[in-house]
Amino acid sequence: MKDLINEAASRIKGVVTRTPVIPSSTLSRLFGFKVWLKLENLQKTGSFKVRGAFNKVSSLSVADKARGVVAASSGNHAQGVAWASSLLGVRSLIIMPENTPIVKFVATRGYGAEVIFHGDNFFEAYQFAIGYARDRGLAFIPPFEDDLVIAGQGTIGLEILEDLPDADTIVVPVGGGGLISGIASAVKSARPSITVIGVEAGASSSCIESLKQGRPVEVRGGPTIADGIAVKRVGDKTFALIRRFVDMVVDAGEDSIARAILQLLERKKLMVEGAGAVTIAAAMEGKLPRSTKKAVFVLSGGNIDVTMLDRVIRLGLLREGRIIKLATVIRDIPGTLAGLTALIAGLQANILHVIHQREAVEVPVDSIRLEIILEVEGFEHSERILKALKENGYELEER
């Protein structure tokens, strides 16, 4: 694999973006060790996937290129294959599940691919794509279970070693395993002492379960913000490399992933999708070894739907204690609501939403029930606000 990765680095040089590795003083203070970020969210198409896709498609024979390629994906792999194929003048056909979000298939078409919808999920689209390619003599481009795809992703590891040779830890998202197996193969071949840690979404932890059982196994995952790594089964090739080169694989919860996305957006002005933010989320949960001194976190992509981003931001604010919801009952007379809002304003809180309920059964006829959503600085600030409201005679129901 080492030679394949070096060949891939030569092949993609000048074509794929060499993304920066930047420090984060905010996250360094938060975690207690030096934090650096590998920004694959700034990669072409917004994801690391173009590395493996370009390496694979460019390595095909002249005859295979002339016939075209097929891939199955509802996200970043689709766009990576479409982009790489267009650049190389190769026709690409992407099979997507029928429930693929509009923004994703529009982006894939925008990179030059033809899109066919099939199946209710990725597995059905994947199986159809394999058969479609076989029946028509077209080259199939796997999302992770392929040596050339893995090697392409491994070029990230070479760049990290060149840019930050004294890093002691690299933290990488894990889905099907192509990214981490490539990076781990690259860095461990050059520096066996470096620690490589994988992170899965807790709602879909196929790699962790596979490592427990000693073989790739399929898991029934649930919905997750990190949908880009919600893979039911890690690959056979990737699993073998993970067992050989990766030191540990941990998971991260949904709340932490949301907080990580919010933290990166606010503090570093970086748009990172859930699958990329899991690395930061794991550190927020204290999942990294205490011996960590200088860690590189791979932010694997930045393709997050606007509607998803809105939900994630709200969830992140809630989990950080920066949004509080409460209810109270006040007299239905002029000036009462103004008095409450003035008190809240004096406490430096921002009122986001107020709902009046005059018809509530449990509320006296001369009163109204208020539901209020406030934006605050954090948990300590919210406690001060609640204390002040209670001291001023308001009976509160926290929601």
CB 69, CB 81: distance < 8 Å: yes
The answer to whether residues 392 and 283 belong to one domain is no
- Residue 171 CB coordination number (10 Å): 26
As to burial, measured by CB atoms within 10 angstroms (0-12 exposed, 13-18 middle, 19+ buried), residue 247 is middle
The answer to whether residues 268 and 158 belong to one domain is yes
- Residue 51 CB coordination number (10 Å): 32
pTM over 0.95: no
How many structural domains compose the chain?
3
Question: What is the rounded end-to-end Cα distance, in angstroms, of the chain?
Answer: 54
Is the per-residue pLDDT at 353 higher than 70?
yes
The answer to whether residues 289 and 159 belong to one domain is yes
Residue 96: both structure tokens together? 């997507």
pLDDT of the residue at 361: 64
Q: Token match 């066919």: residue?
A: 116
The answer to whether residues 134 and 174 belong to one domain is no
The answer to whether residues 355 and 298 belong to one domain is no
The answer to whether residues 252 and 170 belong to one domain is yes
Residue ending a domain, among 318, 347, 379, is 318
Name every residue whose Cβ is closer than 8 Å to that of residue 192 and which is 6 or more positions away in sequence: none
Q: In terms of residue numbers, what domain contains 389? A: 322-398
CATH number reported for the structural domain that contains residue 236 in this entry: 3.40.50.1100
What is the per-residue pLDDT across 168-217, written as a single tens digit (0 to 9) for each?
999 999 999 999 999 999 999 999 999 999 999 999 999 999 999 999 99
Count of H-run helices and E-run strands, the chain = 16, 14
Residue 206 appears among annotated catalytic residues: no
Q: Which one from 204, 210, 300, 382 is the annotated catalytic residue?
A: 300
The answer to whether residues 230 and 307 belong to one domain is yes
Residue 300 appears among annotated catalytic residues: yes
The answer to whether residues 87 and 196 belong to one domain is no
Pairing of strands 397-398, 323-331: antiparallel
The answer to whether residues 56 and 204 belong to one domain is no
What is the per-residue pLDDT across 124-180, written as a single tens digit (0 to 9) for each?
899 999 999 999 999 999 999 999 999 999 999 999 999 999 999 999 999 999 999
The answer to whether residues 195 and 299 belong to one domain is yes
Residue ending a domain, among 140, 171, 189, is 140
- Does an H or E element contain 171, and which? strand 169-173
Alpha carbons 227 and 42: distance in angstroms, whole number: 19
Name every residue whose Cβ is closer than 8 Å to that of residue 368 and which is 6 or more positions away in sequence: 329, 330, 332, 356, 357, 358
- Residue 345 CB coordination number (10 Å): 11
Mean pLDDT of all residues in 275-284: 97
Q: Which one from 49, 56, 188, 287 is the annotated catalytic residue?
A: 49
